[in-house]
Structure 1
Amino acid sequence: MSEPHRFDRGHTDDLMSFLTASPSPYHAVASAAERLEKAGFRQVAETDAWDGTSGGRYVLRGGALVAWYVPESAAPHTPFRIVGAHTDSPNLRVKPLPDTGAHGWRQVAVEIYGGPLLNSWLDRDLGLAGRLSLRDGSTRLVNIDRPLLRVPQLAIHLDRSVTADGLKLDKQRHLQPIWGLGDVREGDLISFLEESAGLAPGDVTGWDLMTHSVEPAAYLGRDNELVAGPRMDNLLSVHAGVAALTAAAAGEPPFIPVLAAFDHEENGSQSDTGADGPLLGGVLERSVFARGGSYEDRARAFAGTVCLSSDTGHAVHPNYAERHDPTHHPRVNGGPILKVNVNNRYATDGSGRAVFAAACERAGVPFQSFVSNNSMPCGTTIGPITAARHGIRTVDIGVAILSMHSARELCGTDDPHLLANALVAFLRG
């Protein structure tokens, strides 16, 4: 019998709890903020004046979070070390007029967010979560974490062509989930959510709601060497970034460690909470100026800054190995991957590779290289956006997974902790 697989159970258990507690970007940043608060970080409002004292701080804006730690020895021109990630995942999101249905079925009208594997949302028990905007100007998080909705697949008896031609889904007609029986009533879904959240009728005037699989993350495999769960792309990196930032803040790093967890990566990052927005740059500049810095100090700090853009990548698939580059086959539990694309779909260059290799060496963490098959298009991340928008040297990395953009993804149990260890070494410099 082979040796049982070994991994850091505590870190992986905590990741699984984080995934379950974070069915939406808004819940993800709330979960991250809770961990930061326990580590001594304090929330600051963007509308308040900031001071230049040392310590840990974070700002929340919608589904995005930027957190940083200022060491006592930090000068105005001290460079930053940034871990970048994103909080959003592909899913089905509720439309402005959500109540629909036909033929005695009550349904919820949804729009496709990002690029999900649509078939993975069929015949799966779904909950509903997100943010409610209230009449008084406040917001309330809501999470119906029980089987509430389902997108039923058509029986094979009614579509024999699926065997020969494969499954074909029309995004408008075939993906509206059912949630009950009876006549369609306008306002029914929002009334249900108001009651579930303990709100009065008519309190909710806006919403950002999305579906999620209610099946919790779980260990998989003979020796528990795998983890199956939702939203690993990219909450796995957010979780590792929070763990790394709190660990780095426990010392006196020579840089200012930062975690930037953005929303809207899956649809282009162009929003006030996305990587292509002003959030990160504004926080970094205000940090410099709050410590008495000038524009010259800001320029010096940015010139010495490095960002690791951490996002999941593709492990070699045993059933589709020909889709991968023949000489680059990242394996699960082989350590984090360094992503390279010479057409700048990833931001990594040779100097960035050296920075990441040095961090992995200090941490005792193996790493792998990833490039796309030349015959296939390459995905992208927040890396090139961060590099271009802020003039910051950026390196694209991540953890190799299978089933990316599925309602349930698959990673190795070792890799989340290996990534976190590499990020700690990077932030500590």
Structure 2
Amino acid sequence: MSSIATFRVSPLFTINPEIRPQFPLRVQCLDGSDSTVLSSDSLVANGTSFTGEKEKNTAIFHGSTEDKTKSGIPNDGGNGRLKSRVEKTWLKDVISNDLEALWDDGYGTKTIKDYLDGAKEFSRTDGGPPRWFCPIECGKPLKNSPILLFLPGMDGVGLGLTLHHKALGKAFEVWCLHIPVYDRTPFKELVEYVEETVRQEHASSPDKPIYLVGDSFGGCLALAVAARNPKIDLVLVLANPATSFGRSQLQPLFPILEALPNELHIAVPYLLSFVLGNPMKMATVDIDNRLPPRLQSEKLSANLIALLPRLSDLPDIIAKDTLVWKLKLLKSAAAYTNSRLHAVKAEVLVLASGQDYMLPSGEEAQRLKSSLQNCKVRYFKENGHTILMEKNINLLTVIKGTGKYRRSQRTDLVSDFLPPSMSEFKHGFDNVG
């Protein structure tokens, strides 16, 4: 079997020595029958070796380089033809054994600006199929940490956990799903792709839970996979799941968006950016509440100004054809998933926003709680649709606080204990103060 090691490459597998990606990633190639062996310090594409920077403490992913295009990009052989075989070998020093109190979880060091910078790079056309990647920022997980699979929202980029990579990387082995901009894989085949990874992980570690974090559209994916695999120990964390898409407040506008001329589409992503999230909540993630009001205002102003040039890249991330496809995909995802809710046996935690202007997430959370066998709901009244990008939402803290973190089939209050981080301490101190 061929192998591919961890090294810094473009998240879209673009083999171009002139490109300096801003987002270092561990990338898992899709499997095939190719027998070419790639060394740990270089990537070979069409006979050319591109030396990469090896990480000292990293995971090695086994896959293949079959069906590469002339640019060195893996090709899926056609829309929807997904190939996945995930086998991992950990280096001896990749595991961290303990975590000190008031550890640095990195929350507040990354913002929506970092997401937009990464999304711009990810939006490059590569012709490849959906794939998994592991952000280098996640670092080393604790010993016996469970795997966490992030399933993205409508954007499909896979960077929706940008604010949480460092924190989650301590408690989980984090994999993120990337669905390229021009990929047109049907919903059912996306479900099968994720499902195959879930089954392989369960086969390799049957005593560990598998976490599926689904953001909006990804929430439908997570529920669909859970419904098809009721005997696998799954923990679902759903952020404003799109199962309520049929009741979206924007339904009357969708036909208009599809008919809109290309010249006018450039304005649509700008409008959606304000509908999907709370701009103030996103712009204040890295602002310390203990700063004097004047300094907070200056920082907020600087953040908002810095966002403006980045918003100009949104039409590339959500092109018109892509938007039309995504809306159809959301419709089929909601219908497919809702018809199978009765089969979901997994633990489910729903995070619902009170100011979601795209979906009726508050009502949907209540519906899911009554429809699912094991479901908890946490409401966040002041947050918007993109809750994972907004201030005061530390995902690891939420998972811990709801009693959903465990490393085995049952919660062990001693071995599963995670000490408070510095950001958690500061947040608690500010609230008490």
TM-score of the pair, normalised by structure 2: 0.29
Relative contact order, higher structure (CA 8 A, sep 6+): 1
The structure whose residues are more often strand, as a share, is 1
TM-score of the pair, normalised by structure 1: 0.30
Larger Rg: 1
